[in-house]
Amino acid sequence: MSPVARVVALALLVALAGSGTSGAQTAAPSLGVLVDQVVALFPKVDGEVIEVQGATVTLSLGSRDGVLAGVGLALYRQGRELRHPKTGEVLGRTEQSVGRVTIQQVFEAYSIGTASQGSDVQAGDRARVSAGKIKLSLVPIVEGGVREGLADAAVHELVEALNRTGRFQIGAGDAISVWLNQQGAKRDDVLAGKGLDSIAERFKVEHLLFVAFSRVQGKPYMDVRLFSFPGPSSRLTTALFVPPSIKPAAKGDFSAAARQRESQTPNPQRSFLARLLFGDLDAGTYSSGEASITLKEAAKFPFIVASMDVAVGSKDKTVRMVITDGERVYLYRITPERVLEPEWTYRGDTRGRVFSVQLAELTDDGAIHVVVNRYSPIQAILVNSLILTTKDQKPVVAIEDVSDILLAVDPGGDGVKKVLWAQPFAQKGFFKQGDAVRMSLRNGRLVTDGRARVPSTFRATGATYSNIAGKGTRALAYIDEYSRLRIAIDTEDAFRSSTQVGGGMAKLGVETQIERGGRTYLYTPEPMPLSVDLDGDGIEEIVVPQNQFPGRLAVVFKGPAGYRFQTVNSGFEGTVMALGAIPGDGTPALVAAVVRFTNFRGTEGETQIIMTTAE
């Protein structure tokens, strides 16, 4: 596939109003995003319990085995061998169920989970997700305003797509729907998992997939929740607009209905957010819009871009981009023609590897600063952050040897990150959660200005401020230790995704002596969520890579029905390492760093810097 073909998807995010696509769409790709998420929660795995500390269980299953956080596994203990009485053939071993475990953290070769209450697990036991078909009960919930025929068609498409995976035995949840209505159960309570234990006991179900249909922004919308039992354990929270290709079954003249569908054309006034969410990013539909969209591969680097940031200077109005390969830091100007012009390259000493870079303005003169976080596993070094600036068109170290993780933020909504936070490094967890202070750059020194009010789960990685909660309100969006996106107003959570986001960045190893002989724990920094107004209403949406599913982006927005989380298929054949935006006249240009690894360990590869603008 050509580089242009790979980037058309992102171009669709910022197509000119009126430059919509034409051509037929199919339902499968849109619902395929949802199906992929469900399938990923039931990998065919069987591994050993390595150790047990209280309710914390460590398993010999990791990301290389397809395990994701949120996956639930059955715990069992093997017993004696069973042999055929005549042939002596070993038929297997006896098994004793000892409980269940829900995965919380996933590393390459192992994972850590929490055993359910009452589990009697010990080292040497085993954990698995059945290689057979998973029993899944699908329960539709249809609100007024959504035609039942449309909901039926969408459910049919979803059931067919799940059946094609060969992993599920789908059970109709009609009896459950009737029982919920008889009990007067409220939709929001059901989707929150309240009272579901009685359903599991009454109907003998193992997994419940709720698909709730409503109308949001005048469009039919699917809220999807997956619960497993015992628990209930919330496994998946996601949503999507019903793909436009799904239509209620036509009555009578089928050919007339088909002609009507073919004659329909996209609304030329749809916002960019609508283009992103209403199915235009389905695989196989990009080429129809390619001729009307300007694409720009700004650069291709023969290395992995570990971090990237894009910002516009408040004084000179110059668009800049900073990237790093882990050793060097590169600063570029982005011209109005979307050409990269190098400003400088900084290569420091070998006291640490760079894992994040940010553009900021930390002084009143509008000078551009680059906030650089570095880390070395050597105990005498560890976190070794620094701040760069420019003098005589060359990089200059303004601050060095900072033992905290630094994060530049824009709490005031000025469009420029002018506030600096510092979070202490902690051997357990890497980031000392919920602990951050405000810092100022004064007379060549970093000075503490007091504590920063952050939630208790906050980590100084994968974080941004946004007005997603409404004009005049600044909310902090960040990725927690379980790779869930959280939105907090002051210190109170307003939203938390059940679906994972982020991922894909290089792991940081921390050696500890807690266990006999020591052990190296691996932690992963997160890509920065992008806060950007995609529909021109003055309220920002949040777009974040979702690298647990190749080529996926997650979009969080707030509408009349509250916060909404939707996974979309970007079409990229690589890891979306970072996102940025260049504001325009109502039309932002998006910038993406897309990495294609060239070895199985993910230590070598190349990066495309992709920009897209409207004509």
CB-count burial class (<10 Å; 0-12, 13-18, 19+) for 191: middle
pLDDT at residue 108, as a whole number: 81
Helix-strand-coil split of the chain, %, nearest 5: 15, 45, 40
The residue ranking higher by pLDDT, 261 or 608, is: 608
Q: Sign of torsion, CA 264 269 275 281?
A: positive
pLDDT at residue 22, as a whole number: 29
- Is the pLDDT confidence value at 532 over 60? yes
Render 550-598 in DSSP notation, one character per residue: TTEEEEEEEETTEEEEEEEE---SSEEEEEEEE--SS-PEEEEEEEEES
pLDDT at residue 353, as a whole number: 94
Pick from 72-86, 436-450, 466-480: least confident: 72-86
pLDDT (tens digit per residue) in 374-419 = 999 988 899 999 999 999 999 999 999 999 999 999 998 888 999 9
Rg (alpha carbons) of the chain, rounded to whole number: 25
CB-count burial class (<10 Å; 0-12, 13-18, 19+) for 256: exposed
- The three-state (H, E, C) secondary structure of 57-123, written as one string: EEECCCHHHCCCCCCEEEEEEEEEEEECCCCCCEEEEEEEEEEEEEEEEECCCCEEEEECCCCCCCC
pLDDT (tens digit per residue) in 326-374 = 999 999 999 988 889 999 999 988 889 999 999 999 998 889 999 999 9
What average pLDDT does this structure show over 489-502?
Answer: 89
Whether residue 232 is preceded by a cis peptide bond, meaning omega within 30 degrees of 0, is yes
pLDDT (tens digit per residue) in 154-211 = 998 899 899 888 888 888 787 888 888 888 888 889 998 888 888 888 888 889 999 9
Q: Sign of torsion, CA 196 202 205 208?
A: negative
The residue ranking higher by pLDDT, 571 or 34, is: 34
pLDDT at residue 561, as a whole number: 66
Contact 582, 334 (CB under 8 A): yes
pLDDT at residue 175, as a whole number: 81
Contact 611, 337 (CB under 8 A): no
pLDDT at residue 107, as a whole number: 86
Of the pLDDT bands very low, low, confident and very high (cuts 50, 70, 90), residue 615 is very low
Which H/E stretch holds residue 488? strand 484-489
Of the pLDDT bands very low, low, confident and very high (cuts 50, 70, 90), residue 110 is very high
Distance in angstroms (rounded) separating the CA atoms of residues 524 and 430: 9
pLDDT at residue 244, as a whole number: 83
- Is the pLDDT confidence value at 292 over 80? no
- Is the pLDDT confidence value at 71 over 50? yes
Contact 414, 408 (CB under 8 A): no
- Is the pLDDT confidence value at 262 over 70? no
pLDDT (tens digit per residue) in 196-250 = 888 888 888 889 999 999 988 788 988 999 998 877 878 888 888 888 888 886 5
- Is the pLDDT confidence value at 259 over 80? no
pLDDT at residue 217, as a whole number: 78
The residue ranking higher by pLDDT, 173 or 53, is: 53
Task: At 271, give phi and psi (nearest 5°).
Answer: -75, 170
- Is the pLDDT confidence value at 475 over 90? yes
Residue 135 C-alpha from the chain's centroid = 27
Please count the residues of the chain: 615
pLDDT at residue 454, as a whole number: 95
pLDDT at residue 560, as a whole number: 65
Against a cut of 0.95, is the pTM above it? no
**Mean pLDDT for all residues in the chain:** 82
pLDDT at residue 6, as a whole number: 37
What average pLDDT does this structure show over 281-307?
Answer: 60
pLDDT at residue 296, as a whole number: 74
Candidates 15, 28, 235; CA nearest to 134 is 235
Task: At 63, give phi and psi (nearest 5°).
Answer: -65, -30
SS3 416: coil
pLDDT (tens digit per residue) in 598-612 = 887 778 899 999 887
- Is the pLDDT confidence value at 15 over 60? no
- Is the pLDDT confidence value at 284 over 80? no
- Is the pLDDT confidence value at 13 over 60? no
pLDDT at residue 431, as a whole number: 94
Distance in angstroms (rounded) separating the CA atoms of residues 121 and 588: 53
- Is the pLDDT confidence value at 258 over 70? no
pLDDT (tens digit per residue) in 434-449 = 999 999 999 889 999 9
CATH 2.120.10 assigned to domain 289-613? The reply is yes
Residue 480 C-alpha from the chain's centroid = 11
Pick from 50-54, 242-246, 286-290, 381-385: least confident: 286-290
What is the CATH T-level fold of the domain 46-84+93-128, as seen in this structure? Thrombin, subunit H (2.40.10)
- Is the pLDDT confidence value at 264 over 80? no
- Is the pLDDT confidence value at 559 over 60? yes
The class level of CATH for 133-260 reads: alpha beta
Q: Where are the domains of the chain?
A: 46-84+93-128, 133-260, 289-613
pLDDT (tens digit per residue) in 504-518 = 888 898 887 665 667
Distance in angstroms (rounded) separating the CA atoms of residues 35 and 157: 11
- Is the pLDDT confidence value at 124 over 70? yes
